[in-house]
Amino acid sequence: MAHATSPDAGAEPLSAVRLRSEVGGSASMWTDLRVVAETGSTNEDALKQAVDGAAEGLVIAAESQTAGRGRQGRRWLTRPGAALTFSVLLRPQPVQRAPRGWLPLLAGLATAAGLRQRTGVDARLKWPNDVLVGDLKLAGILAEQCGDAIVVGIGVNVLGREDDLPVATEMSLERCGVDLTDLTCLLAAILRELEARYRRWCEVGPGEVDASGLREEYRSLCDTLGRAVLVQLPGDRELAGLAVDVDGAGQLMVRPRRGELVAVSAGDVIHVR
């Protein structure tokens, strides 16, 4: 990892000092905040730190990633200074495997909430945690597990017009008409929202997503629910049907035209109508 310097263009460099005070200082769960100018992947860096025994609460943010990772083994490409890219390290207490499925979903809720608060965009979710504006993707989230640690990596497209975003289906804050140069402030907002939901999820109980209010919040922000979907499942299989709900394990419940309700734990969702 290199030390932080100015990004190539656009936004102001991230400030670890301001971040510390804006997440709430020593009362915050984010106890180790690191900003780097360039790295391969903040997820990879945080996973390495996890293996070396780093405590929960580590945040690594990069002005630029050269080998960003996306979901399903894809790459996450962004121009230097054109995206907010960071990863957090969590170590939830031992719980049954299934309820951990809610962590990526609550990270999506927090990202959408932070974006709505700081930029006013109508950020919504596509299951499990793509952050959309309209039908276009503004932010992506990759959760990776390593022993009892979970690294949640978040990438928000900040700069980029229609013709220079990496994929045609992507959105940026610039494309939404938001001129945001202070990314420290946006990062702090997302971290605060993430901390609030993560604490609630841990305290109320990872399986208790109704009691913690997380399922209700997810239902209200998730555009996938109630829509006809095509799910591309691992192993080149597809499932078409109506997305009816998310269950207590964070799985998407899909009602095919014929047959029983199917619980989907991994896959790419396409909104059909």
Distance CA 96, CA 94 (A): 7
Give the shortest CB-222-to-ligand BTN separation in angstroms: 15
Give the shortest CB-166-to-ligand BTN separation in angstroms: 11
- In total, the chain counts a number of residues equal to 273
Q: Taking CB under 6 A as the rule, does residue 71 contact ligand BTN?
A: yes
Q: Which is nearer to ligand BTN, 188 or 212 (CB)?
A: 188
**Residues sharing a CB contact under 8 Å with residue 44, sequence separation 6 or more, in sequence order:** 67, 69
Q: Taking CB under 6 A as the rule, does residue 212 contact ligand BTN?
A: no
The SS3 of residue 12 is coil
| The only residue of 2, 31, 55, 74 in contact with ligand BTN, by rule CB under 6 A | 74
Tokens of 206: 């990872």
Q: Taking CB under 6 A as the rule, does residue 41 contact ligand BTN?
A: yes
Distance CA 225, CA 106 (A): 16
Q: Which is nearer to ligand BTN, 74 or 219 (CB)?
A: 74
Give the shortest CB-225-to-ligand BTN separation in angstroms: 19
Q: Taking CB under 6 A as the rule, does residue 70 contact ligand BTN?
A: yes
Q: Which residues pair with 153 in a beta bridge?
A: 87, 142
Q: Taking CB under 6 A as the rule, does residue 108 contact ligand BTN?
A: no
Find the helix or strand (DSSP H, E) in which 254 lies: strand 252-255
Give the shortest CB-188-to-ligand BTN separation in angstroms: 16
Q: Which is nearer to ligand BTN, 156 or 229 (CB)?
A: 156
Q: Taking CB under 6 A as the rule, does residue 141 contact ligand BTN?
A: yes
CB 191 within 8 A of CB 30: yes
**Residues sharing a CB contact under 8 Å with residue 132, sequence separation 6 or more, in sequence order:** 123, 124, 125, 126, 138, 171, 223
**Is residue 32 classed exposed, middle or buried when 0-12, 13-18 and 19+ CB atoms within 10 A define those classes?**
middle
| The only residue of 81, 104, 114, 140 in contact with ligand BTN, by rule CB under 6 A | 140
Among the residue ranges 83-91, 96-104, 195-203, 231-239, the one whose residues contact ligand BTN (CB under 6 A): 83-91
**Residues sharing a CB contact under 8 Å with residue 48, sequence separation 6 or more, in sequence order:** none
Q: Taking CB under 6 A as the rule, does residue 251 contact ligand BTN?
A: no
Q: Which residues form the interface with ligand BTN (CB under 6 A)? A: 41-43, 65, 68-71, 74, 76, 85-87, 130, 140-142, 153-155
